[in-house]
Amino acid sequence: MSEKKIAPSLLAADFANLQRDIEMVNASKADWFHIDVMDGVFVPNISFGMPVIEAIGRHAKKTLDVHLMIVDPDRYINDFAALGADILTVHYEACTHLHRTLQAIKGAGMKAGVALNPHSSVSLLKDCIQDIDLVCIMSVNPGFGGQSFIDNTFEKVGELKALIQSKNANTLIEIDGGVTSKNASELVAAGADVLVAGSFVFKSDHPIDTIEQLKKQVN
């Protein structure tokens, strides 16, 4: 079994000390940077855009996992590629022609991810799972950090794992929202490969230790 990954979400970082927090993640046992882009339309919140991501990219030394919570993401695929995104995740609910969007992301040289809102069934991905490098199961309603984990997620992880195996796909399962040391082990046991953690990491007293403990807990 391959190593489980930890992806701290910079949404919970201190934006007045962003470089400091990025260096902390660089020095930590974390695997990826999770970067949440919100447009105030798809979700009721605005996070940050291209100039901030460009600044993050200048310091971040690990995989950039960019989660787009925006409508019509196709407009910006090439921009995110130019900014150094390694994985670009779009929302199932924001894409009318998801298959085309996935091909465009890969064509721009990135891994293609699809995020599912809590109400969206895993079965919606049945016909394109082989084209998806990563499925991000939202374990909160997207838009804000610091929300509580929705328990139905465990069941969805199991369903997604079964779908991936039945189609012989190579898709990673990422969990995003309300991840803590309380649910991490159960998520990984259900089949999760990547855990995003925002508040649990950055609001803790010693974020670098929190990352190390989480990483150890699931490996």
Name the site residues for Zn ion (rule: CB under 5 A).
Answer: 36, 67, 176
Nearer to Zn ion, 9 or 107 (CB): 9
91 is an interface residue for ligand DX5 by CB under 6 A: no
Residue with tokens 């199991």: 158
Supply the minimum distance, in Å, between the C-beta of residue 5 and ligand DX5: 14
153 is an interface residue for ligand DX5 by CB under 6 A: no
Supply the minimum distance, in Å, between the C-beta of residue 22 and Zn ion: 17
Q: Outline where the chain has alpha helix (H).
A: 18-27, 50-59, 77-82, 98-107, 153-166, 184-190, 199-202, 207-217
d(CA 88, CA 111): 6
Nearer to Zn ion, 47 or 171 (CB): 47
78 is an interface residue for ligand DX5 by CB under 6 A: no
Other CB atoms closer than 10 Å to residue 27's CB: what's the count? 11
73 is an interface residue for ligand DX5 by CB under 6 A: no
12 is an interface residue for ligand DX5 by CB under 6 A: yes
HEC letters along 43-95: CCCECCCHHHHHHHHHHCCCEEEEEEECCCHHHHHHHHHHCCCCEEEEEHHHC
Nearer to Zn ion, 10 or 125 (CB): 10
179 is an interface residue for ligand DX5 by CB under 6 A: yes
Planar angle of CA 80, 66, 185, nearest 5 degrees: 165
Residue 137 near residue 156, CB atoms below 8 Å: yes
Query: What mask of x and - would describe binding to ligand DX5 in positions 33 to 52, judged by CB under 6 A?
Result: -x-x----------------
Supply the minimum distance, in Å, between the C-beta of residue 59 and ligand DX5: 19
Residue 33 near residue 86, CB atoms below 8 Å: no
Nearer to Zn ion, 10 or 102 (CB): 10
Query: What mask of x and - would describe binding to ligand DX5 in positions 50 to 69, judged by CB under 6 A?
Result: -----------------x--
Active site residues: 36, 176
d(CA 157, CA 160): 5
Supply the minimum distance, in Å, between the C-beta of residue 206 and ligand DX5: 17
Question: Is 168 in a helix, a strand, or coil?
Answer: coil
Footprint of ligand DX5 on this chain (CB under 6 A)? Answer: 9, 11-12, 34, 36, 67, 140, 142-147, 176-179, 196-200
